[in-house]
Amino acid sequence: MTSTVVSFNTPFVIFLGDIGSETYAKTGLGLVEWRRDQCIGQVRLPGAGVDAGVRDLTVAEARARGARSLIIGSAAVGGGIPANWIPSLRAAAEAGIDIVAGLHIRLGTVLGLADAATRGGARLVDVRVPPVDLPVGTGRKRRGLRVLTVGTDCACGKKYTALALDRELRRRGVASDFRATGQTGIMIAGRGIPIDAVVSDFVTGAAETLSPDNDAAHWDVIEGQGAILHPGYLQVTVGLLVGSQPDAFVLCHDPLREHLTGWPSFPVPSLSEVIERTVATGRLTNPRICCVGVSLNTSKIAAADRGVFINQAAAETGLPCVDPLVEGVGPLVDRLLAEFSA
Amino acid sequence: MTSTVVSFNTPFVIFLGDIGSETYAKTGLGLVEWRRDQCIGQVRLPGAGVDAGVRDLTVAEARARGARSLIIGSAAVGGGIPANWIPSLRAAAEAGIDIVAGLHIRLGTVLGLADAATRGGARLVDVRVPPVDLPVGTGRKRRGLRVLTVGTDCACGKKYTALALDRELRRRGVASDFRATGQTGIMIAGRGIPIDAVVSDFVTGAAETLSPDNDAAHWDVIEGQGAILHPGYLQVTVGLLVGSQPDAFVLCHDPLREHLTGWPSFPVPSLSEVIERTVATGRLTNPRICCVGVSLNTSKIAAADRGVFINQAAAETGLPCVDPLVEGVGPLVDRLLAEFSA
């Protein structure tokens, strides 16, 4: 991985502040779910109403236990840093612990934090800020195998599905890396590129940088962004697709959604339309690209009705179809490995 | 036009410095070719080897004649501003004349220029710097008509063709605006958005901002960027296409080019492939999108052979085909107006 990819050190502690609701702590809870092995504990302030289920630590205790990063895992209303959080962040930075955040504001603008980091030799890592030295996409074929998650819309399970595919591949002893393209994914992975924040000219190059040459049998599982038939974001999706040059992709879909979320005059396209466009576009840099399955979000469907939706998607595509939270992604990985066995 | 579009005031003078070769003065020469009516003259330094064919002026004379902008129309080797150019630029800024440039460096970093601009009440306009307050694309249908130039590759006539279409429409009394998306185009138009410098998430929104609602019979002629089957830049092309929601497009092509310039392992796609992909993609925001003709660059083809290439492209596409520098774009505008007459 080159220096153009955002990265931070592990192990880490999660900072939850005094946040009252789990809704505002999604990043911290996701980190515990997906990277518990690298999580030493949580730092909370008096009045905190969320518990991530890991050991409570002070900043001094976190340092003593070897924490190398403190990740701000909750969002305050307004997106900034409340004044009562700042002393803890300064103390961590002065203790040499990197501060990591995915806020709209930059950490360097938080009062006194940059000075504290200088004194402590800590870094301030804004995972929403893309690297500045990205190349233009070359289209050159890279070694190794790649699978990308795509969607019929935004926010329909692309990150979760990619993380689950990576975990299942590793569980089977297959070499795999999760490649993060959004802020929460980057925090979970500890590295990645916030692809939608990259200057347009460099999106394909950013995607190439994110999944570099690798061993012939190694899988990169790449977190998708946007949707290829989305009137606002398709350019992000297309650049990520062509730069990633995936061999395979998994299509994520929420079967209850009728219109693109936030774009009520655009219906959600069919599974077939998205597969067809993804293959047609991805073929430019990888002629063998194919869909290996469908990941359905059935969380809002009654248990008795789930099977109907799963069977319908399987029938429409002729591919394995699962809800990763219910069945897991085993059938998708079976298909992936069957299609691309040496 | 909203404030999110780069713009500068006219009339202008061109600053050519002491540049020795026309190769380095393409912007200045293009400005004289396309906006002679707004060009008061040229400011040159001793030793200049290029003459744009307009009146030589000192900065003081330019001011006296009402120049509101001084456009740096030549590029020094290295892309910066040579030290011996700076006194003239400072003098113009102090005289209240806006300084306009499309350099890799920002004008504010040129020694003393920001102070001079403050004293004179002048603006420093970097046309390569995109606006920061762009929206996300909505896909909402806008009033008015739009034609976009697209290409089989980069640098094959998209800007020239768009300017020629706009000029021909105006000549026939049809309301039209050229909408610039690259730095030279923006200088010629006096406004526009450098689309390839926009953060990826906002490319469709930038394109929507660039060609806002207009009268039902008004044409926006939009300068295309990149190419839809290009492994480095297709994301720019796709975002501009979907945000522009063009009714029509003209396909630009260099028939002697076998591979994408700078990407030797990617052959130039066929006219049919590019038309098909452009229609399939553009249909998302404008279901009636169609190709109205082909603009060929035949400058390197012997006069006796030109007809073969023109006829071949016309036969392949069933559309009017011209070299705008030879035949002009009349047949393309005929077709455009025939397809979209009220």
Give A-chain residues touching B138 at CB under 8 angstroms.
231-232, 263
Measured at the CA of B255, the angle between CA B249 and CA B258, to 5 degrees, comes to: 115
pLDDT of B319: 98
Over residues B176-219, the pLDDT tens digits come to 999 999 988 999 998 999 998 999 999 999 999 999 999 999 99
Closest chain B residue to the Cα of A273, Cα to Cα: B280
Give B-chain residues touching A234 at CB under 8 angstroms.
204, 238-239, 242, 284
The B-side interface with A (CB below 8 A) comprises 136-140, 195-201, 203-205, 229, 231-236, 238-239, 242, 263, 265-266, 277, 280, 284-285
Shortest CA gap B135–chain A (Å): 10
In this structure, what is the dihedral angle of CA atoms A260, A255, B289, B308, given to the nearest 10 degrees? 130
Q: Which of B137, B233, B265 lies at the smallest CB-CB distance from A232?
A: B137
Shortest CA gap B226–chain A (Å): 9
Q: Which of A204, A231, A236 lies at the smallest CB-CB distance from B232?
A: A204
Mutate to test the interface with B, among A128, A235, A237, A286 (most CBs of B within 10 A): A235
Tokens of B329: 């774009």
Over residues B214-243, the pLDDT tens digits come to 999 999 999 999 999 999 999 999 999 999
Is the pLDDT at B315 greater than 60? The verdict is yes
The CA-atom distances, in angstroms, between A157 and each of A153, A246, A253, A324 are 10, 18, 7, 9
CB pairs under 8 A between A and B: 106
Give A-chain residues touching B197 at CB under 8 angstroms.
199-201
Q: Which of B195, B199, B234 lies at the smallest CB-CB distance from A197?
A: B199
Domains along the sequence of chain B with CATH: 6-126 (3.40.50.720), 145-339 (3.40.50.300)
pLDDT of A252: 98
Over residues A215-243, the pLDDT tens digits come to 999 999 999 999 999 999 999 999 999 99
> Can you spell out the DSSP letters for A26-43?
HHHHHHHHHHGGGEEEEE
Closest CA to B52 of B36, B64, B38, B63: B36
Task: Kindly determine whether residue A232 and residue B140, on different chains, have CB atoms separated by under 8 Å.
Answer: no
The mean per-residue pLDDT over the stretch A312-336 comes to 97
Shortest CA gap A299–chain B (Å): 28
Is residue B292 within 8 Å of B251, Cβ to Cβ? Answer: no
Helix (H) or strand (E) holding B86: helix B86-94
Closest chain B residue to the Cα of A240, Cα to Cα: B235
Q: Which of A196, A199, A242 lies at the smallest CB-CB distance from B234?
A: A242
Count CB atoms within 10 A of the CB of residue A255. Answer: 23
Closest CA to A204 of B90, B266, B155: B266
The CA-atom distances, in angstroms, between A306 and each of A313, A316, A340 are 11, 16, 30
Question: Does the predicted model carry a pTM greater than 0.90?
Answer: yes
Shortest CA gap A49–chain B (Å): 34
Mean pLDDT (chain A) is: 94
Interface predicted TM-score (ipTM): 0.92
| Rg of the Cα atoms in chain B | 20
Q: Which residues of A139-165 are buried (b: 16+ CB within 10 A; e: fewer)?
A: beebebbbbbbbbbbbebbbbbbbbbb
- Report d(CA B66, CA B68) in Å as an integer: 6
Shortest CA gap A7–chain B (Å): 21
Over residues A258-310, the pLDDT tens digits come to 999 999 999 999 999 999 999 999 999 999 999 999 999 999 999 999 999 99
Is residue B31 within 8 Å of B3, Cβ to Cβ? Answer: no
pLDDT of A1: 37
Is the pLDDT at A60 greater than 80? The verdict is yes
- Report d(CA B24, CA B8) in Å as an integer: 22
Q: Helical H runs in chain A?
A: 26-35, 59-64, 86-94, 113-120, 158-171, 183-189, 203-210, 234-244, 271-282, 303-317, 330-339
Q: Which of B140, B197, B284 lies at the smallest CB-CB distance from A201?
A: B197
Closest chain B residue to the Cα of A267, Cα to Cα: B284
Helix (H) or strand (E) holding B14: strand B12-17
